[in-house]
């Protein structure tokens, strides 16, 4: 499940309150998503396209454990999230909700660069610069969950198959 798209680059400690702003938490997901990251990049939600890649610095997704932070990115069509490091719960929420999240400590990228993310290989290609970077691989077992749309859809299919067997 490789992903190719435009990079949207953010700094360190992007927290869940910036990804899913509190004042919009009771709104439908498409409304909440339209405010995703507006505190640091007001144009993000209107410019991001399906398959684009969010790149963060250290501790991406710190703060509360709200799943809506990942759901907002998924609603906007983000194909992958790459960061130098993730808050532990955010990382797990991303995989559980079907969004690949990769740790890549050496990635050099600018906003708008065309990236190709290969999660199982642990490889990122910056097609704009021609450079390639190694990152932490997402194990095949976890990628099966991601490719299946997240943990709950994957589990529902698995249990249904077991019942049929």
pLDDT in tens, the chain (165 residues): 899 999 999 999 999 999 999 999 999 999 999 999 999 999 999 999 999 999 999 999 999 889 999 999 999 999 999 999 999 999 999 999 999 999 999 999 999 999 999 999 999 999 999 999 999 999 999 999 999 999 999 999 999 999 998
pTM of the model: 0.94
End-to-end CA distance of the chain: 28
């Amino acid at each position: 499940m490789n992903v190719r798209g435009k990079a949207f680059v953010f700094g360190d400690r992007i927290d869940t309150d910036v990804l899913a702003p509190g004042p919009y938490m009771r709104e439908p997901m498409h409304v909440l998503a339209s405010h995703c990251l507006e505190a640091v990049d007001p144009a993000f939600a209107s410019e991001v396209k399906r398959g684009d890649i969010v790149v963060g610095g250290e501790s991406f997704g710190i703060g509360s454990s709200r799943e809506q932070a990942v759901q907002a990115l998924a609603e906007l069509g983000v194909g992958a999230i790459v960061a130098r490091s993730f808050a532990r719960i955010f990382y797990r929420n991303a995989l559980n909700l079907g969004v690949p999240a990769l740790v890549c400590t050496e990635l050099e990228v600018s906003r708008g660069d065309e990236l190709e993310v290969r999660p199982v290989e642990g490889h990122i290609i910056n097609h704009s610069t021609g450079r390639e970077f190694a990152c932490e691989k997402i194990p095949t077992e976890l990628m099966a969950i991601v490719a299946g749309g997240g943990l709950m859809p994957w589990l529902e299919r698995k249990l249904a198959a077991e019942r049929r067997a």
